[in-house]
Amino acid sequence: MTGRFTEGELRFLRAVAEQVPAARVVEVHVFPAMRQGHLETGVAVLAATRDVDVDADEDGDDGDGDHRDGDGDHARPVVVYVARYRYAIKGTERGAWTVDVTIEADAPLVTVGDVVRGVQRRAGESGDAVRLDGDAWRALVGQPAPVGAASGASAA
């Protein structure tokens, strides 16, 4: 799976995994890196469960009255992060590297698509982001998967 990402993107994704607990990540949308002049930049949108949601019982009730719908976890609230990186490939700042991860929303998982479309619109991106589920994300960044989960990746 690492063949679809550049070295810079992989470095970025591993840096993000240091800031967002990998066990909580539900899905990630990675936009293609952009090179402009001496800079490479990239963006990813992550959806992660809140700490209290990690221990939901079998009927989907995590004790706060919210229940997952019959279509999986789409109604369960998640924290939506937007992560960005900037890497100076050449020039006087060659090697300079910054990663910024910010919380953009606390909303149902179905709204992640709105955030992804908003990022595409603001960046003028017409290309699709690569969507990774939580297990594919953990495998990519070298984190163990929670017990009983399946992995996968697709274009979003």
pLDDT per residue, tens digit, the chain (156 aa), is 456 888 888 999 999 999 998 899 999 999 888 888 888 899 999 999 987 544 444 444 444 444 344 445 556 789 999 999 999 988 888 888 999 999 988 888 887 888 888 777 776 655 678 899 999 999 999 876 665 544 444 444
Residues with Cβ < 8 Å from 34, sequence gap 6 or more?
Answer: 40, 41, 42, 123
The strand ranges marked E within the chain are 25-30, 34-36, 39-49, 77-88, 97-108, 130-133, 153-155
pLDDT at 105: 85
CA-nearest of 106, 102, 130, 99 to 116 is 130
Query: How do strand 34-36 and strand 39-49 relate by DSSP bridges?
Result: antiparallel
Whole-prediction pTM: 0.73
- Separation CA 23–CA 128 (nearest Å): 25
pLDDT at 101: 96
